[in-house]
Chains A and B, each alone.
Chain A
């Protein structure tokens, strides 16, 4: 059994960690946090140059052609560094949708542009309150024209193109939904930036008015494609969450060793130790579930739907748990803008919602386990 990343993959992780520690310091993250810019352009360019944006994109489409295990390794480091770039929207959502369902022309146009850092892409799935469901998609497509509103759209205001789900039928079934690709620079879409929990990953509202769009994938297949995309993104996001959880745990541990109260390091008090031990347990369980998700993703195994849901739930819980208790370990200092704790707290809670909430994925997991048990 070799249920671990390979030496080459671990080397890639070290390389990514070193790169991000130089180019993505907390100080750099704060430039975006303070709203001075919507994302870190220099970092984005650097990630492209390192080959990280196209690590899982095949060479024929301008990527490194490595694979999803390599992408998982990089995702973990992006989470650790709290990187303020449109990585998840472009790489996990847009690129993965193109890889699953894009035409050759669409892949040839957009994938090389993603790998080189020239194009930011996103997936516009939500229309206000609610979880992923065909019923929640009201935006209509007819005669190749889109009308409706999507929000929140991750990185919607800075993206060059968006993939979105639209209603093309009225049967009440899943095959009423089709996917479209829209060049956001071509007009017909109004983007409005929205304030959000985590300013280091911006959100927008996109309003489509008789907007021209090209179909992506077969008509009526939209929901089935999206389900696959969400499973893949769930695994990749889980690695970001695992990276973030580990970092939050380290921050708490380091502070507990450093901070003296009542004449001793606070890390010698069992109340603090046990809190940190529980954070470690949550982070370890999440890491192990995520490894299984990575295995299923990289081998395209039939276990992917269940593995993805388990990774998603476990990693969401772990990052939220570690981020909130990191603040608690820090006490009052943890509640200042100056300390970095809140950046992870914000990111943890934003990531917990982006692909559908915890309760949505819990529901999915039980359905998928039942399906497996019945089979």
Chain B
């Protein structure tokens, strides 16, 4: 048992480290190093532009999407080399945020289901950041039950005509392409009537509208489709096989090993170490210590769980759905920590201003943003289902709509 690299891993790490040291945009290091629990923003620069510049530089030197084959813009690196790269890229990895949906979800789906021509045309530009992709799956009435989606695609000659609405689309406003799943046959069971496409986000009839979220921010979009034309050549997989294609995308969503999620624990520890209560520092209070300790061991447990997954990768094993626990644990923890940090502030905990002396509204912002952590990318409940069914081997839920034609499924108000 050790934390050391193998000789090959050490060599790879040294190469990566040298390159990052020589090429990273150091002028943003301080800003990126600041803890951030949510979207990254740069005070004086546009995040997407700075990100594109960094991604392009990486791509030219072979560090973009490095686990992809070379012919599609990658480096042909092993999974463990990818993890090592992420560790060495460090805070600059935050600059890749605009490309994560493309790299983590759209790209792998195109790779698995696209024609050779499509792969050679689209993947290298996705990898280099020249073209940004978004994912068009969720709908207002199809979230966890994404197979219940309503957006229609109808065949007209060699084209498909799309009408409907998507929601929760990160980055739709700056994306060039979108990965779209739509209903092509409402007369069969819901999973069987879906087809996967990709399209230019500049297509006529595509309208992107920002969503104002519960925390007051605007990070996601609604995307409306009105008679949008997609050539049949932009179909991924067979007609009616969209559900299978979407599983490729969603599996990749949960495979992000080694990427550490914010837990709020370091912030809370520092806060309690400095906060004066009536009888002394908060961290000297037994009730505070008990809570802090429970959170600290969850956080360290997640850290060492990811180390175990990295070790498995290093041995050439493929870690499975057990990595779903990261988001499940950290999402709830962020919310609990924020609530308790405010409790310790008493009535002043309601104040959200960045100029408030204690924590500059940090935990208040965490409180307002944390519900999304428990929903986006699979709700807590869906993640528990995945653990129960795919790790523990429990039976799936009984699905009353499973063998019913989609257009016969009872709905409210349709």
A3-B3, A268-B396 known; A310 vs B308 contact (CB < 8 Å):
no
**Contact between A273 and B269, CB atoms less than 8 A apart:** no
Q: Is B69 an interface residue, CB under 8 A from the partner? A: no
CB neighbours (8 Å) of B315 from chain A are 2
- Complex alpha-carbon distance, A370 and B281, angstroms: 13
A174 an interface residue at 8 Å Cβ cutoff?
Answer: no
Indicate if the CB atoms of A369 and B269 lie closer than 8 Å. yes
Whether B310 is near chain A, meaning CB under 8 Å from some CB there, is: yes
When distances are taken between beta carbons in the complex, the residues of chain A under 8 Å from B312 are: 4
Complex: chain A residue closest to B329, CB-CB: A281
Say whether A4 contacts B395, CB under 8 Å: no
Q: Does A359 contact B (CB under 8 A)?
A: yes
Q: Which residues from chain B contact A365 at a C-beta distance below 8 Å?
A: 293, 296-297
* Contacting residues, chain A, for B329 (C-beta < 8 A): 281, 285
Q: In the complex, what residues of B have CB within 8 A of residue A294's CB?
A: 1
B305 at the binding interface (Cβ < 8 Å): yes
**Does A55 have its Cβ within 8 Å of any Cβ on chain B?**
no
**In the complex, what distance in Å separates the CA atom of A369 from the CA atom of B297?**
11
Answer yes or no: B328 CB below 8 A from chain A CBs.
yes
Is B1's CB under 8 angstroms from A314's CB?
A: no
Q: Are B393 and A257 in contact, CB atoms less than 8 angstroms apart?
A: yes
Q: Convert A350-375 into 0s and 1s, putting 1 for each residue whose CB lies closer than 8 angstroms to a CB of B.
A: 00000000010111011001100100
Cβ < 8 Å to A, chain B residues 272-320? 273, 283, 286, 289-290, 292-294, 296-298, 300-305, 307-308, 310-312, 314-315
Binding site secondary structure of chain A: helix
> Is B4 an interface residue, CB under 8 A from the partner?
yes
Per-position 1/0 for A233-267, Cβ under 8 A of B: 00000000000000001000100110000001101
Partner of B391, one of A280, A309, A310: A280
- Tell me if B53 is interfacial: C-beta within 8 Å of chain A: no
Do residues A281 and B294 form an inter-chain contact, with CB atoms below 8 A?
no
What residues of chain B lie closer than 8 Å to A292, measured between beta carbons? Answer: 300, 304
User: CB within 8 A of A2: which of B296, B311, B383, B395?
Assistant: B311
Q: What chain A residues lie within 8 Å of B404 (beta carbons)?
A: none
Cβ contacts under 8 Å, A291 to chain B: 1, 304, 308
Interface centre among A6, A309, A359, A365 (most CB of B within 10 A): A365
Q: Does A277 contact B (CB under 8 A)?
A: yes
Set of chain B residues within 8 Å of A286, measured between Cβ atoms = 301
Q: Is the CB of B388 within 8 A of A276?
A: yes
Query: Residue A192 at the B interface, CB < 8 A?
Result: no
Q: Does B387 contact A (CB under 8 A)?
A: yes
B1 to chain A, nearest CB (A): 5
Interface centre among A3, A278, A292 (most CB of B within 10 A): A3
Query: Known contacts A274-B384, A366-B283: does B302 contact A285 (CB below 8 Å)?
Result: yes
* Interface pair B311/A4, CB less than 8 Å apart: yes
Question: How many Å lie between the Cα of A253 and that of B398 in the bound state?
Answer: 18
Contact in complex: A253, B297 (CB < 8 Å): no
- Contact of A253 with B392 at beta-carbon distance under 8 Å, contacts A4-B308, A273-B385, A280-B387 already known: yes
Note all chain B residues with C-beta closer than 8 A to A178.
Answer: none
| Smallest CB gap from A269: residue in B | B397
The reply to whether A317 and B394 form a contact with Cβ atoms under 8 Å apart is: no
Option from A4, A277, A370 in Cβ contact (under 8 Å) with B387: A277
Minimal beta-carbon separation of B104 from chain A (angstroms): 22
* B320 smallest CB distance to A (angstroms): 12
Verify B297–A313 contact, CB threshold 8 A.
yes
Question: What residues of B have a CB within 8 angstroms of the CB of A281 in the complex?
Answer: 325, 328-329, 387
How distant is the Cα of A365 from the Cα of B329 in the complex, in angstroms?
Answer: 20
How many angstroms between the C-alpha atoms of A272 and B296 in the bound complex?
Answer: 28
- Quote the shortest CB–CB distance from A3 to chain B (angstroms): 4
Give the contact-size bracket for chain B.
Answer: 35 or more
Taking a contact as CB atoms under 8 Å apart, the answer to whether B1 and A284 are in contact is: no
B322, CB-defined interface residue at 8 Å: yes
Nearest chain A residue, comparing its CB with the CB of B396 = A268
- Within 8 Å of chain B (Cβ to Cβ): is A298? yes
A257 near B300: Cβ-Cβ < 8 Å? no
How far is A257 from B286 in the complex, measured between Cα atoms in Å? Answer: 42
CA distance A69 to B2 in the complex (A): 12
A309 to B5, CA, bound (A): 27
List the B side residues contacting A276 at CB < 8 Å: 388, 392, 394
Docked complex Cα distance between A265 and B300 (Å): 35
Q: Which residues of A contact B389 (CB under 8 A)?
A: 273
Q: A2-B4, A362-B293 are in contact. Are A370 and B283 (CB under 8 A)?
A: yes
Residue numbers in A under 8 Å from B9 (CB-CB) = 1
Q: Are A280 and B294 in contact (CB under 8 A)?
A: no
Once the chains bind, are B385 and A289 in contact (CB under 8 Å)? no
B298 contacts across to A, CB distance below 8 A: 285, 314
Smallest CB separation, A67 vs chain B (Å):
10
Complex Cα–Cα for A285 and B292 (A)? 16
Is the Cβ of B301 less than 8 Å from the Cβ of A288?
Answer: yes
Chain A residues whose CB sits within 8 angstroms of the CB of B397 once the complex forms:
268-270
**Cα–Cα distance between A375 and B290 once the two chains are bound (Å):** 22
Residues of B324-341 contacting chain A, CB below 8 A: 325, 328-329
Complex alpha-carbon distance, A278 and B3, angstroms: 28
Chain A stretch 1-16: residues in CB contact (< 8 A) with chain B: 1-6
Check A280 against B304 for contact (C-beta < 8 Å): no
B302: shortest Cβ distance to chain A, in Å? 7
Q: Is the CB of A1 within 8 A of B4?
A: yes
Q: Which residues of B contact A344 (CB under 8 A)?
A: none
- Assuming the contacts A1-B314, A273-B394, asked whether A310 and B4 have C-beta atoms less than 8 A apart, the reply is no
Chain A proximity mask over B376-392: 1 for CB below 8 Å, otherwise 0 = 00000101110111011
Residues in A whose Cβ lies below 8 Å from that of B297? 285, 289, 310, 313-314, 317, 365
User: How many angstroms between the C-alpha atoms of A309 and B312 in the bound complex?
Assistant: 26
Question: A295 contacts the other chain (Cβ, under 8 Å)?
Answer: yes
Closest residue on chain B to residue A294 by CB atoms: B1
Q: Which residue among B300, B302, B303, B311 has the maximum number of chain A CB atoms within 10 Å of its CB?
A: B300
B1 near A289 (CB under 8 angstroms)?
no
Are the C-beta atoms of A2 and B314 separated by less than 8 Å? yes
A289-B301, A310-B297, A362-B294 in contact; A69/B1 too (CB < 8 A)? Answer: yes
- Please, which residue of chain B has its CB at the minimum distance from the CB of A366? B289
Pairwise interchain contact B304-A257, C-beta atoms closer than 8 A: no
List 18 contacting pairs A-B, 8 Å CB cutoff, sorted by A: A1-B9, A3-B308, A253-B393, A264-B395, A265-B395, A273-B384, A273-B385, A274-B388, A277-B383, A281-B329, A285-B297, A285-B298, A285-B329, A289-B304, A314-B298, A314-B300, A317-B294, A359-B286
The 3 closest A-B pairs by CB, nearest first: A285-B301, A362-B293, A273-B388
Chain A interface (Cβ < 8 Å from any Cβ of B): 1-6, 69, 249, 253, 256-257, 264-265, 267-270, 272-274, 276-278, 280-281, 284-286, 288-289, 291-292, 294-295, 298, 309-310, 313-314, 317, 359, 361-363, 365-366, 369-370, 373
Sample of 15 more A-B contacts, CB < 8 Å, known A3-B304, A270-B381:
A2-B314, A3-B3, A3-B308, A4-B308, A253-B392, A270-B384, A280-B391, A285-B301, A285-B325, A288-B307, A289-B304, A292-B304, A295-B2, A310-B300, A370-B273
